[in-house]
Amino acid sequence: MFFNLPTLLTWARIVAIPLIVGLFYLDIQPAHQNLVATALFIVFALTDWADGWLARRLNQTSSFGAFLDPVADKFLVCAALLVLVHLGRVHALIALVIIGREIAISALREWMAQIGASRSVAVHLVGKMKTTVQMVAIPFLLYDGTLFELIDTRRWGTVLIVASAILTIWSMVYYLQKALPEIRAKAR
């Protein structure tokens, strides 16, 4: 279905992008920008879990929802990474690795679906770990301060985003290895 509650939550992640990016162009104190952007990112990132749970619970799964969900996730992560590069909180090479992998694996999955081999590149644990680490690193980097007078979010966010880039490469290699037999078979 194009408009049901789970799909509306997915659309909300896409709508969130200009809100999060736009905050950094408003004439408000950077600490407030960081706090609001962090809160928005966390709320909208949680909709990724909520839309899937609701779709299954309400029996409202759809092929459109299955298509839109990863697209919304990738848009949200890529937009946040670009903001963080602009703010000097993430190195451009890290963002390039993460964004490049998203594009490459999305294209690989599309091609594998066209040749009827989408199961060989189904979501795997390493991809889920990569996403989880990203979804923790990005709000830490958006916040860019000390949390509970104890946690230096920039330091921890940087460590986590580097870990995410490593997991990104690992997951890309994993998916390419899984797809290689199908690629070889179709190349003949």
So what's the pLDDT on residue 121? Answer: 67
C-alpha 60 chain-centroid distance? 23
| pTM attached to this predicted model | 0.86
**Between residues 16 and 89, which one has the greater pLDDT?**
89
So what's the pLDDT on residue 33? Answer: 93
Where do the domains of the chain lie, and which CATH numbers do they carry? Answer: 5-187 (1.20.120.1760)
So what's the pLDDT on residue 135? Answer: 92
Q: What is the percent of the chain where pLDDT is above 70?
A: 95
pLDDT category, 158, cuts 50, 70, 90? Answer: very high
